[in-house]
Structure 1
Amino acid sequence: MAAAVTRLLAAVVTLVVAALSPGRASDQVPVLAWSTQSSLWNPDDAPTVGWILSAEQLSTYLNPALERGPKTVLLFLQDKLSVEDFTVYGAAYGNKQENAFSNLQKALETSPSSLVLPAVDWRATSSLLSSLQAQTGRSPLYVHQLAIRELRLNASVPSLLVIRLPYTSSSIMMPAKEALTGNDNIIGEVLQTLTVEGVPFLAILTASRPSKIVQDVPMVVMGPSRQLLASREEVEVVERGTYPPVAYNQTVNRTCILFWAGRIQISKGDDMVELTNRTFGPGATVDVSSSTCTNHTANLVLEYENVEKLGSVRIVFRMSNQLYKVSAKRWFTLDQVEVYSDGDRASFNVTQIYAPAIYSYHCQRVAHDAQSGSILPWSTSTQHWVVIFEDFQIQGFGVQGSHFSYASDCAGFFTPAIWMGLLTTFLMVFILTYGLHMITNLKTMDRFDDPKGPSISVPQTE
């Protein structure tokens, strides 16, 4: 049992790291296989992290199990599935009730042999059924989970059973998590039926296409995230690229400020420097010990030494937390961003960065340059500076653990496309209203010529 769990956790790490790796993430689908027979796969033969398997490579991994494994092959084929489905809807905080893949996790943990391929080209899975058909020499039999009980399976006779699992990530009637939980229940019912009947089997789970995850949970987790088929305490991974946010801990057990950015650039004149690697990741050298936080104010201080072309650099984010009687809520605002470089100081009086005190703030671009001068307002004292934060997120109050709370985004609702749609709709409604008004005001003639009456004579003058 311990070996199975260790093997599962190793597969989990591979899956999660592959999910976070850059590249063709949208072209990948996971392939999970497990069997009632042992020694079908060697755990050391797992693919390299981030490697996307082709159809030939997928066959290389599955052929040994098809040749030496049980004759009954189950293919759980889902419409859409991505490795992010597991990381988003898997077990959270150790609470198994939050796990949408409890039956699948149990099957992988208890099976003598299991294989997890986190990144397979989705085009390879389209030919997987024909490959299985060629290996087993049997035509696929599409069955419903309830029909499994009516089949009389013979362990010595090859059989290829296909169970289709729906997935509707855009469904309004059923959220993605409920759909995945329903599919997991189908898997559990099929496996239980075969176990009760004593039929050895080889099961494979994959999808025809990758899915696009839209997380339907109230809190957006931005730091270290949940793991695939594991609780938060079992495996430590990092979401949002390859590094966690910068955290200032007021005490050992209390984090009061979180900050993250996909890119940080600062220049004074023409000397542009990149501070991203100095701020995040294993090579970070930033010092945040000068930061402070109370219930009403929070100051995040990022200090860098020996920055090329700029020397010592100090960035200060000054935030405040106030109660607004109009909304009867507490809101936090980022009031000032200050940049110091070898005695020079640039101060930006920020007016557009605010959010409820229990939320974090996120903006795709916070900058003082020609493109985004309104967020970090221009002034004569900062005209020679360029400060750019891309994928910016900060939270100075209400931090729970080491994870961002739900993000209040700076993106406006009325985009140019929405405005064009509204104007077009207004124009069409106006034309329709005017047409209906013209039709309703049509009047019939109240007099008609009588053809039987006397004709009108017009005297002629000579």
Structure 2
Amino acid sequence: MAEVRMQGLRASAVTFSSLLLTFFLISSCGAHVPLIIWTSKGSLLPVEPPVAGHILSWTQAHSHLSTALGSAPHTVLLFLQDKMSIDDFTAYGGVFGNKEESVFPSLEASLKEASSQLVLPEISWPVAEKIPSLLQEIVGTSPLYINPATLKEQNLPSADPALLVIGLPYSSGVQTKEVLRKNDEVIAEVLQVMKDRDLPFTAVYTGLKPSRMMENLPVDVESVGRTLLQAPAQDITTKAPVIFNGTQGPCIMLWAEQLNVSFLRNQQWSEWVDLGPLTFNNSVSLAGSVCNETVSRLVLNYANVLSFNSLSLTFDMSRKFFPVSARNWSTLDQLEILYDQQLATFIGRNIYSPAEYSYHCQRVSNTRDPLLFPWNTSDSSNQWRITFTDFQIQGFNVTGSFSYASDCASFFSPGIWMGLVTSLVLVLILTYGLHMIMQLRTMDRFDDPKGPSITVPQAE
């Protein structure tokens, strides 16, 4: 009887563990977006918080927001970010005690000063895309998309309901922290305008889509043991190169996995900023680029990068004939960085390839193993750090695609030479040891204890 009871308890424990595992997998997989609401005056009607791990649907989100905004101020500020996930607050919000590293100081201060607040950590992705329509239905007015820079000049009604939508960007990679910090500054600027006008408001901060998506895994209640998970497939989409078209078609091509730059300001290096997403999305301006038979000049123009109003990268290439090799060679002579009317110039060394080929290098930098060197020590080139990863450029004989790549790494690299020399030393040691072993000779006479003893005379 006791044995049957123990088996029943074990079966109940296994079933309960399976249900817990199922709930955990369902709640942790999928794509969802958080939503934060707070008011300056008044209060949000109490809403029962959703169960941990529960993702709100359209009906549930509508019910929660309708109830919460029932008595809140009717001027609603919707800060709509392109992408957002709860992991952004975990990674960059200083939740582990490093409050000085948080990129949301203004948001945290606003939530502390708010008369009431509500956090919905998980809203399904399709619902998040329709948040403006949902708020329009609740508030009863059409959304007004505004620019934070011109908000001070607009007349905002204090009595009539209003839905003001402020779009905020999002960028993945090394720029995420800087973009989120700038978004927090925009939120602080808008809220300060509302406070200066003494207008009560309700602020909503959310995103259109999740910034980090988790792969939906099939749930098997019966299998609760250890299993091997296949690594998620990587995105193999290749970015299109930058192509500058001259009078006779394409004449300059550029591609790189990353174009990282960093600037020294107030004796501190800024974080690395990857210009790749801004370069290879057909939005970068190539104004100022020229090309002919002997000279090619590619200019990449950016705006609002590293707190500069304008920034441009200029690649100067030339084509020269060398009698020793009896062929034309293409060289990257210099790289110029023009930022807010200031110029930093770098000279390219050992950046060359046959004129009919393209040049490729896994790493082009001015730091470790540099290929770019400052023009002189008196200009601002020492305030820049540059690292181009998987860099490829061609300034002559362009036919619409890259020609054969002449790589910066020679066939016999230092690592290959070290391996060859080490192997040669080991082979010599092995040969010498085998030679010594082959020279050993065995004794032809032995001392037999049963036979006559060997007498060794002591004197001559």
Both structures adopt the same fold (TM-score exceeding 0.5): no
User: What is the TM-score normalised by the length of structure 2?
Assistant: 0.41
Answer with 1 or 2: which has the greater Rg: 2
User: What is the TM-score normalised by the length of structure 1?
Assistant: 0.40
